[in-house]
Amino acid sequence: MEGKHANFGNGTEVLDAMESAQRYNVAIEHEIVAALGPPQETPRVLDVGAGGGEFAVRMKGRGYDVTCVEPDDAQRVALEAKGLTAYASLALAEGPFDGAYMVNVLEHIQDDVAILREIHDRLVPNAPVFIWVPAFEALYSDFDFALGHFRRYTRNGLRRAVMLGGFDVQQTAYRDSLGWFVAFAWKVAPMRSSRSVSGGAVGLYDKWIFPASQLLDKAASRGFGKNVIAVARRR
């Protein structure tokens, strides 16, 4: 899951900062659960690109049997220290699984359709999948480049990739509508390449802007947002 470049700070620093975004993370957690269904129906799930385990820990706490796929050695050790099963690649994960989710991962993978097909092959028929990615190439900035993002998605672009991966798409929608304006301001602001993402800044965004953004999302979900989701099922 290699990206383009890295000179803005590493992904671990961003993951650490994002731990301050509790409202944001809870919102994504709820989206994952809504897509997958209760653990009684979808017991064994794949967390693809699990990072430090923010969502794997949450899903395990809800009663899901979570298997993580994380290529970074240090992150994988951290996952195992949290009592999670973690593999370096999908090829090593023993399936089949009842569902899967990816949060801010697909944009890091050059051949996104290929990884979706790999996920498809490890799922039971009709298994649910949830994907959360950054939206709109117009927002692509130094920050995306340095984090190794190959692209940002539109609803149609994400739908196409997921369908080519072998899934029937049930829903696509934009999320964090106010975040679109924040991301655009970041892109055009002077001296942006010298800035880093701090937990304090993320915390302020999470406390004041994101709750308002969630309210606006109900009206803007088909038009714009900083992120886009897809809910699908294995064909």
pTM of the model: 0.89
Average pLDDT over residues 7-30: 69
pLDDT digits (tens, 9 = 90+) for 82-95: 999 999 999 999 88
Average pLDDT over residues 180-184: 93
151 burial class (0-12, 13-18, 19+ CB within 10 angstroms)? middle
For residues 199 and 9, what is the distance between their CA atoms, to the nearest angstrom? 14
**What's the whole-number average pLDDT of the chain?**
89
Least confident range from 22-26, 118-122, 132-136, 144-148: namely: 144-148
pLDDT of amino acid 3: 37
Structure token digits, residue 12: 């671990």
pLDDT score of 8 more than 80: no
Least confident range from 58-72, 131-145, 184-198, 216-230: namely: 184-198
> 131's torsion region: left (phi>0), alpha (psi -120 to 50) or beta?
beta
Could you give the residue ranges of the DSSP H alpha helices within 6-141?
11-18, 22-36, 54-61, 73-81, 112-121
- 128 in a structural domain: yes
pLDDT score of 194 more than 70: no
Q: Which helix (H) or strand (E) holds 101?
A: strand 99-103
Query: What three-state secondary structure class fits 187?
Result: helix
pLDDT of amino acid 4: 33
pLDDT of amino acid 204: 86
Structure token digits, residue 15: 């993951």
Q: Which residue has the tokens 């539109």?
A: 154
- 1 in a structural domain: no
Strand partners, 123: 97
- 6 in a structural domain: no
- 83 in a structural domain: yes
pLDDT of amino acid 218: 86
Average pLDDT over residues 194-219: 81
pLDDT of amino acid 168: 98
Average pLDDT over residues 107-127: 97
Look at strands 85-87 and 167-175 and give their pairing.
unpaired
DSSP category for residue 208:
I
Average pLDDT over residues 150-170: 98
Between 31 and 199, where is the model more confident?
31
For residues 45 and 66, what is the distance between their CA atoms, to the nearest angstrom? 5
The candidate with the shortest Cα–Cα distance to 144, out of 199, 202, 186, is: 186
- 5 in a structural domain: no
Domain that holds residue 206: 11-234
- 146 in a structural domain: yes
Between 147 and 4, where is the model more confident?
147
Residue 108: give its domain's CATH number.
3.40.50.150
Average pLDDT over residues 47-66: 97
Query: What three-state secondary structure class fits 17?
Result: helix
- 57 in a structural domain: yes
- Percentage of the chain with pLDDT > 70? 87
| Number of independent structural domains in the chain | 1
The candidate with the shortest Cα–Cα distance to 210, out of 163, 177, 235, is: 177
- 55 in a structural domain: yes
